[in-house]
Amino acid sequence: MRSRAAVAKTLVFATIGRQGVHSADVVLNILSRQRDPSPPATILTPAALTLRHAPIADCARYDNLRRTI
């Protein structure tokens, strides 16, 4: 079984060969895109910050504000 580094190296060289680029920045970009992103952290919302009333879009109100400016 091949190591992750060997697989990444093969992918980078294959991509470079197809695109004809040889910059170190491009190689690092390709390698960073191959990594799986970590799941976002779960943040608990305090009870004091929960909405009591759902927001309602009132486009007419905003239209009236635009007319006065």
Amino acid at 8: A
Choose the most confident range, by mean pLDDT, from 34-38, 47-51, 61-65. 47-51
Say which DSSP state 48 is in: G
Considering the entire predicted model, what is its pTM?
A: 0.30
pLDDT band at 35 (very low <50, low <70, confident <90, very high): confident
27, with CB counted inside 10 A (0-12, 13-18, 19+), is middle
pLDDT in tens, 5-18: 777 777 767 766 66
- Domain ranges, ordered by start, for the chain: 1-36
